[in-house]
Amino acid sequence: MESEKTNFGSLIIGSYARPSWTIFFLLFTLITILSIQLSTTTSSLFPTNWTLIRRQQQQQSFPSSSASDPITCSGFFRKLPKRKVVMSIEDFGGVGDGVTSNTEAFRRAIWYMQRFQDRGGSQLNIPNGTWLTAPFNLTSDFTLFLNQGALLLASQDVKEWPIIEPLPSYGRGRERLGGRHISLIHGNGIKNVIITGDNGTVDGQGKMWWELWWNRTLEHTRGHLLELINSDNVLISNLTFRNSPFWTIHPVYCRNVVVRGMTILAPLNAPNTDGIDPDSSSNVCIEDNYIESGDDLVAIKSGWDQYGITMALPSTNIIVRRVSGTTPTCSGVGIGSEMSGGISNITIEDLHVWNSAAGVRMKSDKGRGGYISNVSISNIRMERVKIPIRFSRGSNDHPDDGWDPNAVPRFKDISISNIVSVNSTKAPVLEGVEGSSFEGLCFKNITLHGIAASSKWHCEYVSGFATEVFPVPCPEMKNTSSDSSWCSPS
Ligand SMILES: *[C@@H]1O[C@H](CO)[C@@H](O)[C@H](O)[C@H]1NC(C)=O
Ligand SMILES: *[C@@H]1O[C@H](CO)[C@@H](O)[C@H](O)[C@H]1NC(C)=O
Ligand SMILES: *[C@@H]1O[C@H](CO)[C@@H](O)[C@H](O)[C@H]1NC(C)=O
Ligand SMILES: *[C@@H]1O[C@H](CO)[C@@H](O)[C@H](O)[C@H]1NC(C)=O
Ligand SMILES: *[C@@H]1O[C@H](CO)[C@@H](O)[C@H](O)[C@H]1NC(C)=O
Ligand SMILES: *[C@@H]1O[C@H](CO)[C@@H](O)[C@H](O)[C@H]1NC(C)=O
Ligand SMILES: *[C@@H]1O[C@H](CO)[C@@H](O)[C@H](O)[C@H]1NC(C)=O
Ligand SMILES: *[C@@H]1O[C@H](CO)[C@@H](O)[C@H](O)[C@H]1NC(C)=O
Ligand SMILES: *[C@@H]1O[C@H](CO)[C@@H](O)[C@H](O)[C@H]1NC(C)=O
Ligand SMILES: *[C@@H]1O[C@H](CO)[C@@H](O)[C@H](O)[C@H]1NC(C)=O
Ligand SMILES: *[C@@H]1O[C@H](CO)[C@@H](O)[C@H](O)[C@H]1NC(C)=O
């Protein structure tokens, strides 16, 4: 177990090792010095780079810092920075009666508060009440705080959801050509942003949008509940997000993002209501979330076909840990299908998934290009999941006719281990992409109960290595030492 962890990702090493007191004191000193140096500005509490997060993470494992604390990647974000200016939405004319529109109040608040960027920062409190609003933008050095009894309700008027440019890595809206509706809570090019509270609620009232989608009258791609584009140092925590029109939390082209302690809910048949979709983003920590929705609980993405390939902005250094939930038609954790900018350095562990179509799913296709590499998926518990492990191809899902049929994805160093699934229905289905390459695909210690004896592994265009796996894998997953020592048994 110990050495296995070490091989699978050094990110976890620190957390499992028991370093000596000397190292502890060194680290303690270092961190003290860092905090003193940095404590003069509010942005100080944000890590400037992943090294800091990792260091904090290592500090976590020391016996003195409460041995019962679970390991975490949320680093410096755990201590909320104090903002110089703290005001309530009521100070900007907000009315929490569930009927009055607060769109202007939010815009006035942000317009006022943006002046405290780099000048101590600001915090906007949403008190108890029901606050109806159209989409609004956030600003930098800013905290949005929702009280426990605060409910933010999204406007039901399509005209109040402006159309914005498509993302360059998608070339068009994901569902419809051209632009797309802005997200309810939106940020572009901002830094040091916190969206948190005392488990207050944001309700996207997505039903109207799902109906537009179902009855095929949707004109533009639906908006997310929360989208941050090209932003740094973001914490999203301790809130309930409900009924997103489309994917719920979408950080795209972002760095240093923590999503922690969130409850994300949508009806189990609500279309494309993914929980958390890090997209072409790096240093993302997704921990301790409960998600119940109509699509993947967490899906890691990086752009679509030729647009994603051209942009070439990968999703990298992402940890998904202690996430639980259900999605009857989709998967606990998905990688892709949009992965054209590449996806690497991914750690997924300690998930609990039940009553779902798939547990772990990797999706790609011809035309995607890109790569999925250095992915470690371990300690997953599943109950009543139909296909616990699934690789699949899209169904001719391309942005336009400009996709390159020769652009096939590459798969390298993907390990899936320590999985227990009970009452599953089908053996793994591994459908690769014709012409794509596999190197170091390794399955280890996987036990899938409940599968009918007639259900055999289904493998196409994949190759790899499996050991201690039940039921017996397909011949493509050889039980021999693989080329790469990385996933050979020891
Ligand atoms: C990240 O932070 C560490 C510690 O402060 C520093 O040594 C390192 O140079 C930084 N790296 C970058 C790329 O900023
Ligand atoms: C989330 O809430 C918990 C429990 O109230 C609290 O201990 C923690 O500091 C909060 N964390 C963040 C990041 O808001
Ligand atoms: C706000 O609502 C919460 C839960 O609904 C309640 O516990 C709390 O007392 C309320 N706070 C105020 C100031 O009314
Ligand atoms: C919010 O930001 C988007 C771009 O990201 C911009 O198009 C829009 O005008 C902004 N809205 C407001 C109210 O500032
Ligand atoms: C937050 O509220 C949701 C319901 O809105 C509830 O299911 C969840 O348990 C609450 N989380 C915490 C930490 O209290
Ligand atoms: C489709 O759904 C929307 C939203 O509920 C509704 O306003 C519209 O009348 C529906 N259109 C048709 C053709 O059913
Ligand atoms: C993956 O992680 C390793 C070690 O931390 C780092 O050297 C490498 O640059 C990372 N890859 C990417 C694409 O960030
Ligand atoms: C693989 O990813 C882990 C964790 O993200 C990182 O520590 C390790 O250095 C990476 N390995 C390579 C070869 O990039
Ligand atoms: C195999 O995986 C299970 C489930 O995660 C775990 O409890 C067990 O310790 C693992 N066995 C080994 C030998 O690592
Ligand atoms: C698995 O299925 C059996 C037989 O239907 C049932 O008795 C058992 O409770 C199920 N267990 C779980 C965890 O779903
Ligand atoms: C693979 O081989 C090892 C030893 O050769 C054996 O113990 C193990 O059961 C085999 N695994 C499978 C899945 O056949």
Placement of tokens 């997200």 in the chain = 183
Closest CA to ligand 1's atom 10: 49
The answer to whether residues 218 and 175 touch, using CB atoms and an 8 Å cutoff, is: yes
DSSP secondary-structure letter at 444?
E
Predicted local confidence at residue 479, as pLDDT: 59
Predicted local confidence at residue 188, as pLDDT: 98
Q: Across the 490 residues of the chain, what is the mean pLDDT of every consecutive 10-residue run?
A: 34 38 49 42 44 44 48 78 96 98 98 96 98 98 98 98 98 97 98 97 98 97 98 97 98 97 98 98 97 98 98 98 97 97 98 98 97 97 98 92 96 96 97 91 95 92 92 85 48
396 CB near ligand 6 (under 6 Å): no
52 CB near ligand 1 (under 6 Å): yes
Predicted local confidence at residue 160, as pLDDT: 98
Q: Which residues of 67-105 are buried (b: 16+ CB within 10 A; e: fewer)?
A: eeeebbbbbbbeeebebeeeebbbebebbbeeeebbbeb
**DSSP string for 359-400:** EEEEEE-TT---EEEEEEEEEEEEES-SEEEEEEE-SS--SS
Domain made up of 296-490: CATH architecture = 3 Solenoid (2.160)
Predicted local confidence at residue 452, as pLDDT: 86
Return the domain boundaries, the chain.
296-490
Closest CA to ligand 7's atom 12: 316
Task: Name the strand (E) or helix (H) holding 256.
Answer: strand 255-260
Which of the residues are catalytic?
A: 295
DSSP secondary-structure letter at 111?
H
Look at strands 464-470 and 477-478 and give their pairing. Answer: parallel
Nearest to 428 by CA among 455, 397, 404, 400: 455
- Give the global pTM: 0.87
Task: Name the strand (E) or helix (H) holding 26.
Answer: helix 21-38
Pocket test for ligand 4, best of 185, 186, 253 (most atoms within 8 A of CB): 186
Predicted local confidence at residue 487, as pLDDT: 61
The span from the CA of 458 to the CA of 456, in Å, is 6
The span from the CA of 247 to the CA of 254, in Å, is 16
The span from the CA of 289 to the CA of 287, in Å, is 6
Closest CA to ligand 3's atom 4: 149
Placement of tokens 């003069």 in the chain = 40
